[in-house]
Chains A and B, each alone.
Chain A
Amino acid sequence: MTANGVYIYAIIPTGQALGPEDAGVGAPPAALRLLSQGPVAAVVSDAPEQLRPRRRDLMAHQDLLTRLAGRGPVLPMRFGTVAPDEAAVRRELTGSAKDHVATLRHLSDGVEINLKALPAQDALATLLAEEKPVRRLRDEARRRPGYEANVRLGEAVAAALTRRAAEAGHGIVRALTPLAREVAPGPEVHGCALNVSFLVDRDAAGRFRTEAERLAGPRRDHVELRVAGPLPCYSFVTPRRRRAPAGRT
């Protein structure tokens, strides 16, 4: 029954098996199967009737990919990738087998660690102490309180918070880059001053995280660092786009 299409989770090397606990999106979780085509195989299930990014389905997608990535190289698909039928998946696998194999080899033993630099939210006091323009606006707003003055002050605070977070974040990224195989800037995220992903050797992931946290320590007044990972290599699977060799950012 593939009336709603075939949901694709990932592409893995042929020969890698699924575990008994692996399950897909939907309620109850869809049964997974492998579509092998030459050297690569797609992990698929029937697509649920009304696919939307619900928490349950997002987590199912993510959990499955994390488990697959724990066993070997995997090309993670974006959430919600649905093909009309199995034949289309097989055609695609045949067509770009070479690319997929190359990417799988490139990713082998690699994991992604995502780093987000957020403005330090508890550092308003430090901010006021260190940023003269903000202090001036605050004095103004206190002398002549009013809507306009408040908006101006707030704008300045928001801008200063973001700038300080970005500066500190760049410093951290620079220091971490030599530890990574590859670096990929992520899309801009609201509320984040910096969003960068690193491709790291699997057995170096722990050290990488520790180092990131160590670097964040002394910059606590400027930046709140959020480290996610090890993750499946979401940011390193597009062969012809946005691929920066380690050392650029």
Chain B
Amino acid sequence: MTTTMYADEIAPCPPRAGTLYDVLELILDRGMVIDVFIRVSLVGIEILKIDARIVVASVDTYLRFAEACNRLDLERDSRSTTVPELFGGGAAKAVGKRKVRKAAESVGDTVRKVVGADDDDEDAEQEERPRKRRAPARGSAPRRRRAEA
């Protein structure tokens, strides 16, 4: 079963501790390790860590970038007059941005899934709650599926 979740906004960066993603990376990767203990402890965690990192640099991302670029261009290309341009181009731009953001977001989502998806505490909900969209819905039907915890 594959579950996908897209969030439309970058999680805001709290001033002190950084995002959960930063914390995760720091406390899993760094900090002191005493050699004697590591074999006892980190076996399962190493696997999760690797899992959390196989992300982003995929063909899927490239295609999203390409799509975003092509759309973005409709309003910037002086040689063509297109509908988005006639209407001021705002729509095309918004779509482009969101695509890119989605592509880049998959890192955070993967981490979120690893960390939170099977977590039954209620605090898991805090970060997984879908964030409010700013722009009107795009042309195609929303493809977002919520990860079912």
Is A35 in contact with chain B by the CB < 8 A criterion? no
Least CB separation from B118: chain A residue: A54
A150–B58 Cα distance when bound, in Å, is 13
Which DSSP category, helix, strand, loop or mixed, fits chain B's interface? helix
Question: Given A53-B115, A119-B104, A155-B62, A81–B42 Cβ distance below 8 Å?
Answer: yes
Interface pair B34/A151, CB less than 8 Å apart: no
Task: Specify which of B31, B115, B124 lies most central, judged by the most chain A CB atoms within 10 Å of its CB.
Answer: B31
Q: With A and B bound together, what is the CA distance between A238 and B38 in angstroms?
A: 14
Contacts of A8 in B (CB 8 A): 34, 37
Contact between A228 and B55, CB atoms less than 8 A apart: no
Chain A contact residues, majority secondary structure: mixed
The reply on A154 being an interface residue by CB < 8 A is yes
Residues of A within 8 A of B28 (CB): 53, 78-80
CA distance A155 to B84 in the complex (A): 26
Instruction: Collect the chain B residues with CB atoms within 8 Å of residue A226's CB.
Output: 13, 18-19, 22
- Check B17–A187 contact: CB distance below 8 A: no
Give the contacting residue for A234; candidates B30, B40, B41, B69; CB below 8 A: B30
Q: Is B7 interfacial (CB 8 A cutoff)?
A: no
Q: CA–CA, A96 to B65, complex, Å?
A: 51
Does A150 lie within 8 Å of B62, measured CB to CB? Answer: yes
B55-91 vs A, CB cutoff 8 Å, 1 = contact: the mask equals 1110101111111111011001000000000000000
Of the candidate stretches A14-22, A121-129, A170-178, the one touching chain B is A121-129
CA distance A186 to B18 in the complex (A): 15
CB of B36 within 8 A of CB of A80, answer no
Task: Report the 5 A-B pairs with minimum CB-CB distance, sorted nearest first.
Answer: A228-B18, A154-B62, A150-B66, A82-B41, A78-B31
Query: Can you pick out 14 interface pairs between chain A and chain B where the beta carbons lie within 8 Å of each other?
Result: A8-B37, A54-B119, A78-B32, A83-B36, A121-B10, A122-B100, A122-B101, A124-B69, A124-B72, A124-B96, A125-B76, A138-B70, A190-B53, A209-B15
